[in-house]
Amino acid sequence: MPDGRPVQVVFDRSAVAAFVKQSLAVGEMIAVLVDDDVDFGVPVTVLAEASLAASGADADMLNHLVRHVAFVPLGLSGERWTELAAVAERLESVEPAVVLHTAESLDAYVLTAVPGDYAGPDGARADRVIAIEK
C-alpha cells in the first residue's frame, strides 16, 4: 500500500496470464478498482513465474501491468511461513496458497481463471475468490 490505498484484489498467475493476453474481463476489473480508488497486487513469486513465460508482446504487457498506477508488488514476510504452510495444507498446493494467504492477510480477494485451485479437499471454494468470466 505505498500510496495509502488498500489492496482490494490479488491476481494469481492465471489472472496475470489473462491480462498479458489482453483479457477484457481483467481490464474491466482493473478499471473498477481504479474507479473505487483501491489497488490490486501480485505476489512477486507470481510475477517471477509469469516473466519466465513472457516474451515479445507478452513481456511488454507484463511490464505494462507492473507500471500501472494501481499495481502493488506483494511479498511474504518470513515470520508468517507457518500460516502459509497451513493454507498450503488446506489447498494441497503451495502456489495458490501464496496467493490466497496474501489476499487473506490483506482482507482482499483473489482474481483467478482457475477457481478450483482455491478449493480445499472437501471441494469448498475459498470465499475470497473472484472467477474471471470467459
Q: What is the DSSP string of 52-92?
A: HH--THHHHHHHHHHTSTTEEEE---GGGHHHHHHHHHHHT
Decide if 70 is inside a domain: yes
Supply the pTM of this predicted model.
0.85
Query: What pLDDT was estimated at residue 43?
Result: 92
Q: Is residue 56 part of a domain?
A: yes
Number of domains in the chain: 1
Q: Which domain holds residue 32?
A: 7-131
pLDDT tens digits for 90-119? 777 778 888 998 998 999 999 999 998 888
Q: What's the CA gap between 134 and 89, in Å, rounded?
A: 29
Q: Are 40 and 71 in contact (CB under 8 A)?
A: yes
On whether residue 2 sits in a domain, the answer given is no
